[in-house]
Amino acid sequence: MADQSFADALNEQISNEFAAQQQYIGAAVYYDSETLPRLAAFFYRQAVEERNHAMIMVQYLLDTDEDVKIPDITSQQTKYDDVTGPVKMALEQEKRVSDEINDLFKLARDQGDFRAEQFLTWFVKEQVEEVSSMTDLLGDPGMPPAAGGAL
């Protein structure tokens, strides 16, 4: 990533955010099909949040007069072995996104791009909340038991 411009790296992250949106819609569809409306609603809301993250990044690139690349949509998983599957997927995804955001932050810092570094500060904090939320959901004893876990 160090050889990349910040704009190119952020365009890749926009693609990742839109992919996360689609993955969360897939999880919501699974929960809808299993007649688990609260979990479906949770993941539909998460999908909107990921879309909003991507759009914030798009707007940043527009505001800084950089090119924006909108990615293709790919099919996402809508079937899981048990009710914990989508949450496990989401937790791993949020951990990966945290690493990606931290890499972007480091790239901005290494390139002396103070605007980009400041822009990413909110995303760093947001990822702490996202990982915590999925960790809590996976361990919530109030969710349906499956596969020996709390969820």
Given a cut of 90, is residue 97 above it in pLDDT? yes
Rg of the chain over Cα atoms, rounded to whole angstroms, equals 17
pTM confidence score? 0.88
Region for 77 from its dihedrals, namely left if φ exceeds 0, alpha if ψ lies in -120 to 50, beta otherwise: beta
pLDDT at 151: 53
Between helix 6-33 and helix 85-110 the angle, nearest 10°, is 170
How does pLDDT run across 9-48, given as a tens digit for each residue?
A: 999 999 999 999 999 999 999 999 999 999 999 999 999 9
Q: Nearest-5° angle of CA 130, CA 134, CA 135? A: 110
How does pLDDT run across 44-92, given as a tens digit for each residue?
A: 999 999 999 999 999 999 999 999 999 998 888 999 999 999 999 999 9
Query: What is the overall mean pLDDT for the chain?
Result: 91
Neighbours of 82 (CB within 10 A): 14
